[in-house]
Structure formats: C-alpha cells, structure tokens
Structure 1
Amino acid sequence: MARTGGVGSPLISFIVPVYNVRSYLRQCLDSMLADSSVPVELIAVDDRSTDGSAEVLAEYAARDPRVTVLTLDRNGGQGPARNRGLEQATGDYVWFVDSDDWLADGIVPAVAARIADLDPDVVVVDHVRAHWDGRVDPSLNRFARTPEVFALHEWPRAIEILHTPWNKIVRRSLLLGTGFRFRTGWYEDIPFTYRVLMAADRITLLDRVGVHYRQRRVGAATRTVGEGHFAIFTNWSEVFDTFDDGRPGAALLRKLLFRRMIWHFLVVRGNEDRLPDELRARFFGEMTAHYHRYLPAGGYPAPGGMEGVKHRLVAGGRHHTFQALRFGFRRAQEARATGEVAARAGNRGRRVARLGRAAVLRAYYHAELRRPLDPNLALYAAYWYRGYACNPAAIYETAKDLAPGVRGVWVVRRDKVGTLPPGVPYVVAGTRAYFRALAQATYLVNNVNWPNYVVKRPGSTHVMTHHGTPLKVMGIDQQDYPGGVQDPDFAGQLRRADRWDYSVTANAFTTQAWERAYPCRYRTLETGYPRNDRLALATAGEVARVRAELGIEPGQRVVLYAATHREHLPGYHPPFDPERVRAAAGPDAVLLIRSHYFRDRAVAAPAPADLPGVRDVSAHPSVEDLYLAADVLITDYSSVMFDYAVLDRPIVIYAPDWEAYRMIRGVYFDIVAEPPGAVALTLDDLVDTLRTGAFESDAATKARSEFRGRFTTLEDGRAAERVIATVFGD
C-alpha cells in the first residue's frame, strides 16, 4: 500500500473509498475541501481503480496538503477501503463519504459549529436524493422536534433514519472503542449504523441537508441484479448477534430493530432491479429464517395495513402468496394503463393511416427483424445520413484492410448519394433496402444516435463513435442549463444510448464527459478518434498536395475560421469582418471560412465570395483537408480545436460571447482560462492577435502544448486499428 500527502490536527477526517468514479470524483472532493475555515483531512482510498480515478486523486494530493491518498494492493471493496482509511485517520471525528456523492454547501462549518456547541458522539445530517434525470427528492427523515442531544433509547425513532455511514459524523474514539470493522460486500452499512448509534451516549440531529445522495442510473449496487444482495442477511445478523441487552431500553430497541430489519428485507425483495427471478424464492426463505431466528420475546410492534400483511406472509414462509399479491398489484396498474392507452387508440389509428408508406416500411422492418443477423454486415452512417464522413468513415476505410470479411454498407439521404466516394456500397435512408440492412446488420457504426425506431437486436453490436470532444455540456448534464436545451426528452436520449455497446473517445476528458452525460452500460473505447489518424500521419507531401488542390500558393498563410453554431440562439451572429481578419493575417493570406450556417458573421459584412483572398469552404467535403491546408485555426467553442491540435499548429480562440455562452449553454471547462493558444474576446483583439503575431507567442505556444498534453496524447494514427481490433476481433 502506498501513501502520499498528509496534514495534522484535523477536527474531521473525511474517509472516501474510491473505485472507478472518475466522472463524479472531482465534485465529491471539491465539496469537502471548499471551506478552509474548518481543519479537516481527506483520506482517499483508491481501491485499485482502472478508469483514471487514481490520476485525479494524485492531482488533488499534489496541490492540497489536506489530501492523503492510500492505494490498496488489490481491489477489496468499499468496506475494507473504509477500514484502511480509518487506520490512518487522525481527526477527532470521522466522516465516511461515498465518492459519487457530494456534500452540500456550508455543511462542514455547520457540523463543526454543532460539535463545538454540544460535544456529541454522533452528528446525523439530512440528505436529498439527486437523481440522474435531474430530480431531487427530499429524504423521509423527520428531524424536527427532536431532543437536542439524546441516546438511542431516549429517542428510538433514530433507528428509522437511513442506515448509511455518509450521513453520520462519528467521534473517532467511540468508533475505535466499538472494535467495529466493515465487512466486504454490500449492506455493510447496516451494522455500522446500529452499533454506532447503540454505543453513543450523545447523538444530535442537524436539521439541514448535508449530503447529495447520487442516484446513479447504472453502476450502483441498488441497481445491480445478482446474488450479492444476500449479504443483507449476514449484516443484519451482526446487528443482533452483537446486540447489548444490558444497555438502557434494550428490550424496546431490539423490537424496533427487528421491525426495521423486516422492512429492509421487504424493500430489497420488492425491488425488481436487485433480484433475478430464480433467486427470489430463496431470498424469501432467508427472510423467514431470520424472522424466526431474531423474533424478540413477546413479539414486536408490527405495522398495520398491507405492510402488516407482508410481515405475516414472511413469518409464515408464504412466498407463493406474497408473489400472487405482488402480481395482482402489478396487473391492477397495467389495467389502468391499458385503459389510458385504449382511450388514445382511435387517434393512433388515424395517425398510422396518415403515415401511409412510412407505416408500411416500418412493418417491413419489423418483419425483417425476424430473419437471422448477417454476421458479416456492418452498417455505417454519419451526421444523420448526411454522407461519408468523420469517425465512421475512418473506421470503414481501415476495416477494408484489417477486417476484409466484414462487408460495409453506408446509409445516406437520397440527396447526398452523389457525395459518396466511388465504389462505396450504400442504401438510401427510408427505402426497403435501408430497413432490410438495418434489421440484418450485426455491426452498426454511427457518430450520432440511430433513430428511435431502431431495435437493438440480441447479438448485434452498436458502436457510437461520437463526432467531437465536448466543450459544451451534453446529455443529461444539460439539465443544469435549461436555456440551452433543444431536446428536453432526456429519458429518450438515454434510451437511445442504452443501445450502445461501445463508446469511442479521444481522451480521458471525453470519457469522463460521456460517462456523466450518458450513464448507460456501454464499454468505453478510449482509443483516440479514428478521423484524426489522417492528421497524425500526414506528411509534408500530402499537405502540399491538399494546398495545391485548393489553389493555395506555396508560402501563402492560410487562416481557417470555423465557428460553431448557437443552437440556443439561432439568430445570433458573432461579429466578424472577413476583410479585416484576412488583412491582419498578412498581405498574401488566404482566409477560409467554414461554419454550420454561412451567416454566422456580422450581417453587414461583405460576402466572402466578393472579397479577394476570402473563401467560403462550408461545403467542402473534407474538413481534414482544410485542417491540413491551414496554418492557423480561429474558432470559438467548436470541437474542431481538439482535432486541429493534433497538427500542433497555432490556434486562436475567438469568444466574443463567452460569458453568455458558458452561462446559457454550459461548458465542461473554461476555454478562456485553459485555451489551446491565444484568446481574443473582441473583434479588435482578434485582428491585433493576427497582426502582431501574438498567436505564435511563447505564451500561446505554451498553452497549446498543455492543451495537447491533455487532449491529444492518444492521437498516434492507429485509433481506427484499435477500434477494429476490439469490435471486429479476428
């Protein structure tokens, strides 16, 4: 085990077990370190993460002496990681925090103030459930009108507060005095909670939200189906096997703990996301066995109503009746839903009739889905069927040599057929041939999502290549920036992402962004972007050829201006004067302008076609050609900066609306503070940057080097090979 960092005399020791949570880790760590008024230490225990979490921890330890990183010799789970952290803790109090959660603003000084006022053994804070879809639900805790300080027998309702370590700040000497050690596996928080509460003489409830309890869409134990949920029985057994009957109020506490145990069993048994069908009867049998093993003498205060019925079924071991009860409840819900569907059936029928040919083709598609998959067919598409481009095109080209047994076919719109390179097999979107290929392809490779109606067939492989490194927030991260949202159906976005088997990323930063934005069960291929292979391998001869084809003379400086669109502000035109910019770049300079919308410049500016040395290249079929031809790139928030950085040539960030953009649209990092080169916030600044050569200054070059170190280290010309090796195998 390695240890780095260290600090002395803390009031609170945060202990954070870390395993493959890179996408959430910074938010967690920042929340504990934000307030410097309270002396704390943060002990992060890396449980042999494989996703880059260790690098994040090392970064924090290097810059903050309050952070200590322990690296375990092997992965052992959250419990042993907490034990190891506790061994190293020196604070008066210990606060275990899960590495995908985060603390509320101001909670650390509030806890410190409560400790100073009351000298408690345990401080319990409230929490909210922060769902992946943006919903925030309050806890069911009731903290109001409780004693200021109490022992558990004096206010036994504390038993019903969520039994987790992260909502409790515990005096370290008390915890060590119990001799408690976390177990390996799930539900290890049960014995921690109740042994601590039973041992404490002074408990206080702080009636404010202290923890944002992240409800992950995938990856959490509570959403994992498997046998690991049987650990609940071992951990509840520890509560009763170590129960101290000599403590005040022990008889009542035993009864209330028993009721809580049965409640917990029923929660897990009733959750379809935890137990597969074949394990449910066995799980119920364990529930019954524990019921009789730990039933208190004289019984317990059983709940009434339907909950009481469930308790009686557990006591009697009546699993079939329990199942029938649940089945009946679900059928009643389905019946209500069916009634609502029937009420809309007439409208649906009329809508289908209007669809006409489209409905017939969809029916044909579903018929084709019954045919076997073609094991050698790969279907490619890019940019909503706009043509042959981007990462899918690079993978297709390389696969022709490395996977010749896989037959590649492209999907294009009818009006884009003429843009395909000669000899590329294709189907036209919306035709019978298209739906047949869509149904039978084993491999589906796209840089955007396939349409909603596409069915993910068992045995098929969907590869999402994406089409850029994201500066602007994406997916469910956009929920925090409603002003920039174009597609508010976040659940639909995730249903489409659920079809992905692989997500191709260019760098670790992009991996983290996609993991947060699209929390689904795909496998990330952090390979570099295949479309950048050409840039990484480009020779001087190829650059000269491309420039000659574009009519550029040797020695002429070429400036490429490629701005992104503002989907949230479709009428916005960044101030841009092509004539001034071209003149500032030099007397013989050529300005190439490429944009999503040609009029993303000042309305009053002359059209580029009317200006010498200025060309609109928005329709040029290959953006890679333009990269190779350009000596300088000017962009704002477009992902082109990440691709162009592979060439290690000057980049200028021109961001006249930066503050508005970051506030409304949302970004993952500050491109003005961490740019790939020079920065201009006004048109005059941009002109001066080109005229004075500031884009080639030492400061700009240093910024570009740091940017490349963060985003382009995987771009070695073999990204497509790596994707193909994994996706197509032999």
Structure 2
Amino acid sequence: MLPIKKNKIVFCNYYGGGYGDNGKYIVKKLIEENLDCDIVWLVNEKLINKSVFPKNVRVVKYGSFKSLYELATAKLWIDNSRKSFYPPKRKNQYYIQTWHGGISLKQIEKDAENKLSRDYVNNAIKDSKMANLFISNSDFCTKMYKSAFWYDGDILECGSPRCDILINKDKKIKDKIVKDFEINENSCILLYAPTFRNDENTDIYNIDFNKLIEVLEKKFGGVWNILVRLHPNIADKVDFMEYSKKIKNATKYDDMYELLAASDILITDYSSTMFEFSLVNKPVILYAPDLESYIEERNFYFDIINLPYPLSRNNGELFNIIEKFEFNKYVKNLEDFMLKLGIKERGEAAAQVVKIIKKIIY
C-alpha cells in the first residue's frame, strides 16, 4: 500500500533542526548536479517558517504522521543524530549516518555509557543496527565509530560535507555573514561557541566581551566583532547575555559552519568545533572555567592540557594568551597534532556522498 519511492531522500538535522550541518551541503550538491530527487527535510514546527530552504526541498513537520509517511516511503534516510521518531526501516531502504560531532574531545556513546540514560543507549544501539553507512572525516573517527558506536558496518572516509566550505574558503560566506549581522565588511570576527552543561548552568559563560574586543584590536589591529553561538540545548536561555553593536547573538543562526567559515578566531570550551575550525590553521583558544567539574561530567579522549589550543581558565588568562599569541608556533603544533588524527578532509566530501547516493537511488 505504501511503495518505496526510489528517488525520495529524507533528511533530518539534530532532531528537527533547521537547514544546516552535513545534510545542507549534501542537498546543495544534489541540486547543483540537477539530480531527479524528491528531497524532504524534517523540521520542528517552530522552525518551519523561520529556516530558509531551497525551493527544491519539501519541508515536513518533524514528529508528525506526515513525517512517518515520508520516512516509510523514502529510498534513503540521511541523519546526523540518533533517530528518535521513525517507522520500522524496510528491507530496501538505505540509511546514511553523517554524525554531527566529528572528532570529539568528550567521550561519547559506548565510551560514556555510564553517563547516558538507558533509553538513549538502547535507542543508539537500534540506530546503529539500522545504519548502512557512517561518514568519517579521519582515522580517529573511523576508530571511534567501530569501538564506541555499536556499529560494524561500512564507513566512508571522505571528510564531512559541512567542512567543505572551510577547506574551500568561499569568500561569499563571509559576505553573507557580514550582511546578515550588519557588520562592517572590513571587520574581523571572533566566534564564541561553547558547548552546554547537563545542569544548563550559564554562569560559566562569563567572558568580558568588551574587554576582549579591546585586547583583540590592540594585538591584531583593525575592528573586531564578536558572534555568540550557544549550543542548541540551551538556545532558549540566550537572552541572559548582553548584546551590542559589536557583540551579536548568533545562537539561532541555522548554519554553524557558515559562522565558522566567516570567523577569524574561535573561542570554545569542549566543543568538537575546535578541530574543524583549525583545519585551515585558524586560531582556536579554549576558555574553560569549570574544567575539573566538567571532566567529572564527561571524560575526554585527549588530554586537554596538551592539545595545540591554548587553554584559559578565567578572563585574565584569556587576555594574556591573546596578547602573547604566536601564530607560527601555533600552526606547527597544530600540524603535528592533525597528522596524528589522520584527517581526510579535502573539500570534496559532499561530492563523495552524492556519488554513493546516485548508486543507491539509480
């Protein structure tokens, strides 16, 4: 009664998120190649009229009966998180898991099983059993999938489609961000993008942004602006910060990777974006005032002290790092570290995934 439509592809981004992450760049490549596809994107109801999609994409409410129908009749599912609302996967359907984290500082999945709910673990095991293909950006990721994701299937080591714009350095992205946030086109941009805490504590996001701008302009010259991008899990709490002409709220901007591509420096704490932002040797600085308590909450794969990214615990240390920052030394340490990870990013990940899609739907 519900035959599978061979050219239908259903995308989902982080449980109904907007047009972003790996799925966006796969869709862009599908459209660019003018493939005959019925593209569906599952979106939370509150984002349906806020996220901007290409006219080629059909937007369907996440969690609706309509979304179940689309999934049940699609040849291909593409997701970047564990599926939590879906029909039984059928024999002739194919599921590509692109994952949203990439190289991870924090231990995840099986490696953090004792810190995860039993419901999540059970669902993750089911999700991995359904998947036909995982997308990896490094030797590190491939090893992590095999050891921690309850997964023993195929892995495509092609890089992350969302990172293509970082590798290829598209200037139009910077122009778009400058326009959207009403920033002077000659300005430099620092992106502050910390992760969340399980208790949703916001006290640790306590950088003195006005002083930070002064330090940046004194060290590097020019005019600096700050974009603040909080994790989706605490997006509703974003108003606790004060914003201004030079300090902009970017938390609800759909595409994190456009923000990364447009920025000159990244400050984060424990987010995996540190590894992706530094693929093109841009400076990453860590600001982690709650390091000890966070390690208790989530163990790490790496010794954070020995990462190539300078670590600060308070505003004074942060400003001192910037004042004494040596770019050549930073790049040397970074290149040695990336070599050990076995990075596969070449700026062609979306094209590689689309090749697989062609084989599946044609």
- Normalized against structure 2, the TM-score is what? 0.87
- Closer/same/farther in 2, CA of residues 571 and 548 from structure 1, 3 Å limit: closer
| Pairing 1:583–2:218 present | no
Query: How far, CA to CA, are the matches of 2:47 and 2:298 in structure 1?
Result: 31
**Aligned 8 A contact 1:650 1:704 in 2:** no
Query: How far, CA to CA, are the matches of 2:307 and 2:174 in structure 1?
Result: 29
Structure-to-structure mapping, 1:402-551, within 5 angstroms: 402=33, 404-418=35-49, 419-423=51-55, 424-451=57-84, 453-469=86-102, 470-479=104-113, 482=114, 484-486=115-117, 489-540=120-171, 542-551=173-182
Query: How far, CA to CA, are the matches of 2:118 and 2:29 in structure 1?
Result: 34
| Deviation, structure 1 residue 406 | 2.8
Counterpart secondary structure, 2:329? helix
| Deviation, structure 1 residue 409 | 1.2
Q: Which among 289, 314, 317 is matched to residue 682 of structure 1? A: 314
2:191 alignment partner in structure 1: 560
| Deviation, structure 1 residue 722 | 1.1
Amino acid at match of 1:680: S
**Aligned 8 A contact 1:642 1:711 in 2:** no
1:702 alignment partner in structure 2: 332
Amino acid at match of 1:420: V
Query: How far, CA to CA, are the matches of 2:264 and 2:136 in structure 1?
Result: 26
Structure 2 residues without counterparts, runs of 5 or longer: none
Amino acid at match of 2:257: E
Identity %: 23
**Aligned 8 A contact 1:403 1:728 in 2:** no
Counterpart secondary structure, 2:306? coil
Structure-to-structure mapping, 1:100-499, within 5 angstroms: 371-402=2-33, 404-418=35-49, 419-423=51-55, 424-451=57-84, 453-469=86-102, 470-479=104-113, 482=114, 484-486=115-117, 489-499=120-130
Q: Which among 622, 629, 632 is matched to residue 262 of structure 2? A: 629
Structure with more contact order per residue of length (Cα contacts < 8 Å, sep ≥ 6): 2
| Deviation, structure 1 residue 632 | 0.7
Amino acid at match of 2:44: R
| Pairing 1:617–2:250 present | yes
- Following TM superposition, the consecutive aligned residue runs of length 4 or more in structure 1 with deviations greater than 4 angstroms are 486-489, 598-601
1:147-191 residue CA offsets vs partner (Å, 9 max, x unmatched): xxxxxxxxxxxxxxxxxxxxxxxxxxxxxxxxxxxxxxxxxxxxx
Query: How far, CA to CA, are the matches of 1:518 and 1:446 in structure 2?
Result: 15
| Deviation, structure 1 residue 544 | 4.2
Q: Which among 251, 273, 289 is matched to residue 656 of structure 1? A: 289
Query: How far, CA to CA, are the matches of 1:598 and 1:381 in structure 2?
Result: 19
**Aligned 8 A contact 1:646 1:712 in 2:** no
Amino acid at match of 1:591: I
1:641 alignment partner in structure 2: 274
| Deviation, structure 1 residue 478 | 0.9
Amino acid at match of 2:8: L
Amino acid at match of 1:725: K
1:38-69 residue CA offsets vs partner (Å, 9 max, x unmatched): xxxxxxxxxxxxxxxxxxxxxxxxxxxxxxxx
| Deviation, structure 1 residue 563 | 0.3
| Deviation, structure 1 residue 686 | 0.5
Amino acid at match of 1:450: K
**Aligned 8 A contact 1:655 1:680 in 2:** yes
- Normalized against structure 1, the TM-score is what? 0.45
**Aligned 8 A contact 2:136 2:158 in 1:** yes
- Closer/same/farther in 2, CA of residues 616 and 717 from structure 1, 3 Å limit: same
- Closer/same/farther in 2, CA of residues 553 and 477 from structure 1, 3 Å limit: same
Query: How far, CA to CA, are the matches of 1:452 and 1:413 in structure 2?
Result: 12
Query: How far, CA to CA, are the matches of 2:100 and 2:304 in structure 1?
Result: 19
- Closer/same/farther in 2, CA of residues 434 and 508 from structure 1, 3 Å limit: same
Counterpart secondary structure, 1:410? strand
Amino acid at match of 2:182: G
Structure 1 residues without counterparts, runs of 5 or longer: 1-369
| Deviation, structure 1 residue 472 | 1.0
Query: How far, CA to CA, are the matches of 1:539 and 1:371 in structure 2?
Result: 42
Query: How far, CA to CA, are the matches of 2:216 and 2:167 in structure 1?
Result: 26
**Aligned 8 A contact 2:235 2:252 in 1:** no
2:229 alignment partner in structure 1: 594
1:199-251 residue CA offsets vs partner (Å, 9 max, x unmatched): xxxxxxxxxxxxxxxxxxxxxxxxxxxxxxxxxxxxxxxxxxxxxxxxxxxxx
Counterpart secondary structure, 1:576? coil
Q: Which among 295, 300, 304 is matched to residue 667 of structure 1? A: 300
| Deviation, structure 1 residue 637 | 0.7
**Aligned 8 A contact 1:378 1:408 in 2:** yes
Query: How far, CA to CA, are the matches of 2:18 and 2:262 in structure 1?
Result: 22
**Aligned 8 A contact 1:477 1:517 in 2:** yes
Question: What RMSD over aligned residues (CA atoms) do the two structures have, in Å?
Answer: 2.6
